[in-house]
Amino acid sequence: MAKQNEPLVTHIYTADPSAHVFEGKLYIYPSHDLEHDGEDNDNGDQYKMEDYHILSMDDVDAPCVDHGEALHMKDVPWVSGQMWAPDAAFKNDTYYLYFPARDKDGIFRLGVATSKRPEGPFVPQESHILGSFSIDPAVLVDDDGQAYIYFGGLWGGQLEKWQTNSYVNDFVEPAADAPAIGPRVAQLSDDMLSLKEIPLEIQILDEDGKPITAGDEDRRYFEGPWMHKYNGKYYLSYSTGTTHMLVYAVGDSPKGPFTYKGKILDPVIGWTTHHSIVEFKGKWYLFYHDSSMSGGVNHKRCVKFRELQYDAEGNIIPMKPYED
């Protein structure tokens, strides 16, 4: 039986859970961490994932089911390795799996695969999504049917190389007092397979309307964007990377700007922290991961969930991962 704050599955290592309610059930789209003794570095070489397994739960206290391999990199013609954090969406009577991976030149791009079932198997497109780059796609299908894809991650995720919307290998992060690099957003085409526009860099502002700076590592964007709506507002949540927190910012439009609001979750065991937020049967849940199942090995992670609450003003009540 699934239990809050416990690994959802223990037979494989899982990370980066993107949770959705499809067909009245919770479906979780995680990365699948592989066991190895390779190098652990800032480039993320330890995250050697090759495939995706989709999980589902009929309810929050029901068993968590692993539906088996839904997509493997050997079936994706443009991929050379590292199939990282995925997300899924439903539109046009079709399920879409969005995923990042290195192309044959070692550059991270975003791909998409389709299925008639939420658990797959998924059939990939021949090429990556044209105009896409970096990692960690998250898709919002808004109430009017328009879909938006959010993405980007620093360091191993290469986002700092794309400051001019083309790849420049020499680029590094901006100076500490300059605006931080923002995640990107683009509208998806109606068939969900391509971008309708050149990705826009999202602005995350402080309470005075000034951009959060690159040196403000407690608040600046690092990776793992997620978008959800609550009471008509758009909540952009993300990982701060080097300071290992999940935080959020709120805006009036899917493309922002967003105003920084606060912390969601304190650091977990392990370097990365990555999440999603979903409403299910009238309650809200945070899906996240840590490295507790492997005693702290960064690339052997496990996905977990816990209830998330808002105060009367719509602020998310911050949580500590190892306290109820």
Quote the tokens at residue 138.
């998250």
Place of tokens 């680029």: 171
Quote the tokens at residue 146.
């328009």
Point out the catalytic residue in the list 33, 87, 216, 223: 223
* Nearest distance in Å: CB 322, ligand FUB: 19
Dihedral sign for Cα 131, 134, 135, 141, please: negative
State which of residues 52, 84, 98, 151 lies at the interface with ligand FUB (CB under 6 A).
84
Point out the catalytic residue in the list 6, 16, 142, 266: 16
203 vs 276, which CB is nearer to ligand FUB? 276
Q: Is 87 in the site for ligand FUB (CB under 6 A)?
A: no
60 vs 135, which CB is nearer to ligand FUB? 135
Q: Is 158 in the site for ligand FUB (CB under 6 A)?
A: no
- Cα–Cα separations (whole angstroms), residue 71 to 52, 84, 96, 177: 6, 12, 12, 42
Which amino acid makes up residue 105? Answer: D
46 vs 259, which CB is nearer to ligand FUB? 46
Dihedral sign for Cα 191, 119, 100, 291, please: positive
* Nearest distance in Å: CB 143, ligand FUB: 27
Within 189-248, the residues that bind ligand FUB by CB under 6 A are 223-224
Within 16-75, the residues that bind ligand FUB by CB under 6 A are 16, 31, 47
Instruction: Please give the distance of CA 167 from its chain centroid, rounded to a whole number.
Output: 22
* Nearest distance in Å: CB 62, ligand FUB: 26
51 vs 206, which CB is nearer to ligand FUB? 51
* Nearest distance in Å: CB 98, ligand FUB: 12
User: How far, in Å, CA of 167 to CA of 154, rounded?
Assistant: 13
**Site track for ligand FUB across 266-305, x = CB under 6 A:** ------x-x-------------------------------
Q: Under 8 Å CB-to-CB from 215, ≥6 apart: which residues?
A: 175, 176, 177
Instruction: Please give the distance of CA 230 from its chain centroid, rounded to a whole number.
Output: 18
User: How far, in Å, CA of 127 to CA of 70, rounded?
Assistant: 18
Q: Under 8 Å CB-to-CB from 77, ≥6 apart: which residues?
A: 124, 126, 127
State which of residues 137, 153, 256, 270 lies at the interface with ligand FUB (CB under 6 A).
153
Q: Is 135 in the site for ligand FUB (CB under 6 A)?
A: yes
Under a CB-based contact definition with an 8 Å cutoff, are residues 96 and 149 in contact? no
Quote the tokens at residue 113.
């695969």
Q: For this structure, is 16 an active site residue?
A: yes
* Nearest distance in Å: CB 27, ligand FUB: 19
Q: Is 256 in the site for ligand FUB (CB under 6 A)?
A: no
Q: Is 183 in the site for ligand FUB (CB under 6 A)?
A: no
* Nearest distance in Å: CB 276, ligand FUB: 11
Under a CB-based contact definition with an 8 Å cutoff, are residues 144 and 121 in contact? no
219 vs 274, which CB is nearer to ligand FUB? 274
User: How far, in Å, CA of 296 to CA of 41, rounded?
Assistant: 15
225 vs 259, which CB is nearer to ligand FUB? 225
Q: For this structure, is 190 an active site residue?
A: no
Which amino acid makes up residue 270? Answer: G
Quote the tokens at residue 171.
């680029």
Q: What are phi and psi of 206, to 5 degrees?
A: -85, -175
Provide the annotated active-site residues. 16, 223
Chain residues that interact with ligand FUB, rule: CB under 6 A: 15-16, 31, 47, 84-85, 135-136, 153, 223-224, 272, 274
